[in-house]
Structure 1
Amino acid sequence: MTTAANPAPTRALFTVKGAAEYLSLGRSTIYELMAAGKLPYTKVGRIRRIRRAELDAFVAQLELSTT
């Protein structure tokens, strides 16, 4: 008998490290994007959190290189 594995829950909030992994960017790049206002975030306690929707919107607005 086999059982279906439960799918991993979708994350709603990401840490800077998690956002960097999600976008395949460095942590310092994520901090730069937040400081420039290009990547909105919220603070939960002392930790910055980035909504998945904000990460997806950031990716959607990127221009793709045609070279």
Structure 2
Amino acid sequence: MANPIALTVQDAVKASGLSRSRIYEAMRDSLPARKAGRRTLILASDLEAYLANLPTYQAGA
């Protein structure tokens, strides 16, 4: 499947470019995650929304 609807934490790290620690931090603060047995899954749409809501880069700020 080219575009999965849910990602493991490891896949979310690869897809986003964020560190594993930052993903877990985001899950604690505002990134929803779901459990399927022992697996933690993040919906791709939730990850995209989280990334879209990060502050924009301001040169010289």
Largest Rg, 1 or 2? 1
**Alignment-mate amino acid for residue 46 of structure 1:** R
Say how many residue pairs are matched: 59
How far the C-alpha of 1:50 sits from its partner, in A, is 0.2
Unaligned runs of 5+ in 1: 1-7
In structure 2, C-alpha distance between the alignment counterparts of 1:22 and 1:66, rounded to whole Å: 24
**Identity percentage over the alignment?**
34
In structure 2, C-alpha distance between the alignment counterparts of 1:43 and 1:63, rounded to whole Å: 28
Unaligned runs of 5+ in 2: none
Between 1 and 2, higher relative CO (CA 8 Å, sep ≥ 6) is seen in: 2
TM-score (normalizing by structure 2) = 0.86
Which residue of 45, 50, 56 corresponds with 1:53? 45
Instruction: Give matches, 1:1-67, under 5 Å.
Output: 9-36=2-29, 38-67=30-59
